Copies of this chain bind each other. A is one copy, B any other.
Amino acid sequence: MKLEFKLEYKDNKTMARLGEITFNNKKYPTPMFMPVGTNATVKTLSPEELKEIGSGIILSNTYHLWLRPGEDIVSLAGGLHKFMNYDGPILTDSGGFQVFSLAKSKDITEEGVKFKNHLNGDSLLLTPEKSIEIQTKLGSDIMMSFDECVKWPSTHEYMEESVNRTLRWAQRGKIVKKDNEQLLFGIVQGGEYKDLRKFCAEELVKMDFDGYSIGGTSVGEDKQTMYKMVEYSTPYLPENKLRYLMGVGDPIDLIENVMRGVDLFDCVSPTRLARHGHTYTKYGKINIKNSKYKDDFTPIDNCDCYTCKNYTKAYIRHLIVANETFGARLLSIHNIYYLHQLMLQIRENIKKGTLVEFRDEFIKNYYKKGE
């Protein structure tokens, strides 16, 4: 079962697009938000809950699964879908971002990245070939090329050197990729430099990947810089292929980057925020631990999710304060549902040609009462 993408509609006021993914006889509309299941589980949630709240593609982390339980165990289980009991599409990253953000010390060479892992400090080497080998064993439907994720800000000089290495790594990964049903995406790097983003995108397109990611975002840059990174990349990507902006999940960033031509997003934020008692509402993020919710017997956001239909802020606050994981579960359900509903509204407004107005109205409300 190979994942297929069809571009269906282009907004004429922005670069926003509507598309459709077909996988395993099911259709999934884009633009789409993808929840993150780092360890082959979207934290606190079951596959059935993910489906009920409208999840399509979910993401799993190559670095984490490589270290634990090991790609061979997942492979023996019959791949990630069987291992974790999820029959929707699964995307794996390359491990590059985690090596850069989690590893204890690292040494970047042409061969790959040598580093000490964050679990037990063992020395490991991750290369473009190894990353593809692991992802092949994991059996995801969309794989990522191994890239260097550079911190922000970096000099043009370093970024140029890095982009060239990332391109050589992308080529090496493509060479060893098996001729199977897994897709392989190239990752556009280049920081905030217009010329490097263009160069990187054009070179990747020449290699003809199955889709393209925009990386090097969510590494400390401000929102305007992030939007520029996307603007400098998407114009050079083919229209009939998926475009995935990595690690971005703030509601406003989802809208802004759809307007810049992005189809796919992922972020740990809805589940991570949930564990800390933070949750999205029409009027911005709130912290459920705030004592004013102690006797607030209304739902978080009065939406149609399981959490809002059955539980009050007072109860969820109690669970979070008492460290009960059912609280994180209820907030994770709401937070992911919220982002899926936002994407639905985005798609509807693209259809109607009112995406800009929708964004303006959304931002106005979102900054009204947020904490």
Stretch binding the partner chain, chosen from A68-76, A245-253, A342-350: A68-76
Identify the closest chain B residue to A315 (Cβ): B83
State how many angstroms separate the Cβ of A98 from the closest Cβ of chain B.
Answer: 14
CB neighbours of A43 from chain B (8 A): 324-326
Identify the closest chain B residue to A65 (Cβ): B318
Q: Does A108 contact B (CB under 8 A)?
A: no
Q: Does A310 contact B (CB under 8 A)?
A: yes
Give the distance in Å from the alpha carbon of A40 to the alpha carbon of B321 in the complex: 13
State how many angstroms separate the Cβ of A53 from the closest Cβ of chain B.
Answer: 14
Give the distance in Å from the alpha carbon of A40 to the alpha carbon of B44 in the complex: 18
Is B318 in contact with A85, judged by CB distance below 8 angstroms? no
Is B77 in contact with A41, judged by CB distance below 8 angstroms? no
Contact mask for chain A residues 64-95; partner B; CB cutoff 8 A; 1 contact, 0 none: 10001100010011000001110000000000
Identify the closest chain B residue to A306 (Cβ): B46
Q: With A68-B321, A69-B314, A314-B69 given, is the CB distance from A297 to B77 under 8 Å? A: yes
Give the distance in Å from the alpha carbon of A260 to the alpha carbon of B64 in the complex: 51
Q: Does A257 contact B (CB under 8 A)?
A: no
Q: Does A164 contact B (CB under 8 A)?
A: no
Copy number in the complex reads 2
Chain A, range 284-315, C-beta contacts under 8 Å to B: 294-295, 297, 310-312, 314-315
Is A85 in contact with B311, judged by CB distance below 8 angstroms? yes
Identify the closest chain B residue to A45 (Cβ): B326
Identify the closest chain B residue to A42 (Cβ): B326
Number of interface residues of A (CB under 8 A): 35
Chain A, range 25-48, C-beta contacts under 8 Å to B: 39-41, 43-46
Contact mask for chain A residues 319-330; partner B; CB cutoff 8 A; 1 contact, 0 none: 101101111110
Is B326 in contact with A328, judged by CB distance below 8 angstroms? no
Is B76 in contact with A318, judged by CB distance below 8 angstroms? no
Is B69 in contact with A39, judged by CB distance below 8 angstroms? no
Cross-interface CB contact of A318 among B68, B314, B324, cutoff 8 Å: B68
CB neighbours of A83 from chain B (8 A): 312, 314-315
Is A77 in contact with B315, judged by CB distance below 8 angstroms? yes
Chain A, range 44-64, C-beta contacts under 8 Å to B: 44-46, 64
Give the distance in Å from the alpha carbon of A235 to the alpha carbon of B133 in the complex: 69
Is B324 in contact with A39, judged by CB distance below 8 angstroms? yes
Q: With A39-B324, A297-B77 given, is the CB distance from A69 to B311 under 8 Å? A: no
CB neighbours of A317 from chain B (8 A): 69
CB neighbours of A40 from chain B (8 A): 315, 318
Identify the closest chain B residue to A310 (Cβ): B85
State how many angstroms separate the Cβ of A17 from the closest Cβ of chain B.
Answer: 34
Q: With A43-B325, A45-B326, A322-B39 given, is the CB distance from A315 to B84 under 8 Å? A: yes
Extra 6 A-B pairs, beta carbons < 8 Å, given A39-B322, A44-B325: A39-B318, A40-B318, A46-B329, A68-B318, A73-B294, A85-B310
Q: Which residues of A contact B (CB under 8 A)?
A: 39-41, 43-46, 64, 68-69, 73, 76-77, 83-85, 294-295, 297, 310-312, 314-315, 317-319, 321-322, 324-329
Closest 7 CB pairs of A and B: A69-B318, A39-B322, A325-B325, A41-B326, A41-B324, A85-B310, A44-B325
The 21 sampled A-B contact pairs (Cβ below 8 Å) are A39-B318, A39-B319, A39-B324, A41-B326, A41-B327, A43-B325, A44-B326, A44-B329, A46-B326, A68-B321, A69-B294, A69-B321, A73-B318, A76-B297, A76-B314, A83-B312, A83-B315, A85-B310, A85-B311, A85-B315, A325-B325
